[in-house]
Amino acid sequence: MELYDAMSTLRAVRRIKPDPIPEAVLDRVLTAATWAPTGGNHQSWHMIVVKDRALKQGLEDLYRPHWMGYIPGYEAHMKDMPPAAAESSRRALESGTYLATHMHEAPVICVFCFNPSHITVTDAEQPRVSVVGGGSVYPAVQNLLLAARSEGLGCVLTTLLCMEEPAVKKLLEIPNEWHTAAHVPLGYPVLGGHGVINRKSVEKMSSVDRFTQ
């Protein structure tokens, strides 16, 4: 698939069929992730390809209460929106609830882990939340998403399970020094899957020489 076609049609697909992913397809998607750049080319990240039904159900059981707790605030926020935006948000909410109650059906949940001991976190001393560790794992996640899109697989980048990291580490036997960065359900889409995306223009997202918005 052409690069710009893949990028410009990569949607968050939250309704995923239980149909299995052929091994050759899955292998291509995972391999694409390994190609991503990392600081010092250390590749201090790891994918757990969760296929076991009980483990996927375990992840869903940890995810669902957080999603359900999120709904009331989301619905309150929707009341202040113009009708078109509220309708779009209602659809996003429905697909989120579908994911929170069907996650175990996805043939694969790909859990991205990282080990910060080999990552130089250059913003560690700044007086704000650190993000630079993510620079050595989220490029790999994005490669995986783009590869999944090109293979016709639905997928969505989620991070909600980071709130349950200790339980996820126990469930998937993740060593102490490794942590979790993203959880990506993967599989064939129930509905239309990828397609038109809604993003701000490059004029709104960038400025020349100095920061202006």
Q: How far is the CB of 177 from its own copies (least distance, A)?
A: 9
Decide: is 41 part of the binding site for its own copies (CB under 8 A): yes
Q: Does 63 bind its own copies (CB under 8 A)?
A: no
- The reply to whether 197 sits near its own copies by the rule CB under 8 A is yes
Q: What length is written for the chain?
A: 213
**Contact positions with its own copies (CB under 8 A) in 143-182:** 143, 145-147, 150, 156-157, 159-163, 165, 172-175, 178-182
User: Strand 154-155 to strand 179-187: parallel, antiparallel, or no bridges (unpaired)?
Assistant: antiparallel
Query: How far apart (Å, rounded) are the C-alpha atoms in residues 102 and 78?
Result: 24
Tell which positions 64-83 bind its own copies, by CB under 8 A. Answer: none
CB burial class (10 A; 0-12, 13-18, 19+) of residue 194? buried
196 near its own copies, judged by CB under 8 A: no
Characterize 27-51 residue by residue with b for buried, 16 or more Cβ atoms within 10 angstroms of its Cβ, and e for exposed. Answer: eebbebbeebebbeeeebbebbebe
Q: How far is the CB of 162 from its own copies (least distance, A)?
A: 4
Based on CB atoms, which residue is closest to its own copies, 19 or 123? 123
